[in-house]
């Protein structure tokens, strides 16, 4: 049985556990992060790099301020990624080639299937 990965976050007034599969993307603003899920946006003081390390391979750092869950990518262009629900995040031009290779590897290794 596959166990869902979870991320534990301390916010200002509560501790919260979030299923990694439900995270759409994480946005870094100043020294805070905004974790965008299917249901809510959770704000906390955390380093984006630390969350990237904890979440691992199915997440990609497409910009210094964004970490996206590749399971929720619906479309990408040379300068942006569109996610489930329609949110769009920046993709830096210098990371475009690396992103395409990483995303294709993700898709070919069980991340999605094509019809």
| Chain segment 50-77, per-residue pLDDT in tens | 999 999 889 999 999 999 999 999 999 9
Q: The domain spanning residue 62 has which CATH number? A: 2.40.50.1020
Burial of 61 by CB count in 10 Å (0-12 exposed, 13-18 middle, 19+ buried)? buried
- Examine residue 13 and state whether it is found in any structural domain, yes or no: yes
d(CA 17, CA 54): 13
d(CA 69, CA 67): 7
- Examine residue 90 and state whether it is found in any structural domain, yes or no: yes
Tell me which residue range forms the domain holding 16: 6-111
Report yes or no on whether pTM surpasses 0.85: yes
Beta bridge partners of residue 38, listed in sequence order? none
Domain count, the chain: 1
- Examine residue 1 and state whether it is found in any structural domain, yes or no: no
| Residue pLDDT, tens place only, 79-98 | 999 999 999 999 999 999 99
């Amino acid at each position: 049985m596959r166990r869902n990965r979870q991320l534990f976050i301390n916010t200002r007034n509560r501790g919260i556990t979030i299923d990694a599969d439900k995270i759409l993307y994480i946005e870094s603003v100043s020294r805070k992060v905004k974790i965008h899920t299917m249901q809510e946006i959770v704000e906390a003081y955390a380093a984006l790099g630390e969350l990237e390390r904890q979440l691992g391979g199915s997440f990609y750092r497409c910009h210094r301020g964004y970490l996206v869950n590749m399971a929720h990518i619906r479309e990408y262009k040379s300068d942006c990624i569109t996610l489930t629900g329609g949110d769009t995040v920046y993709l830096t031009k210098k990371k475009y080639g690396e992103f395409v290779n990483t995303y294709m590897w993700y898709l070919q290794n069980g991340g999605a299937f094509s019809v």
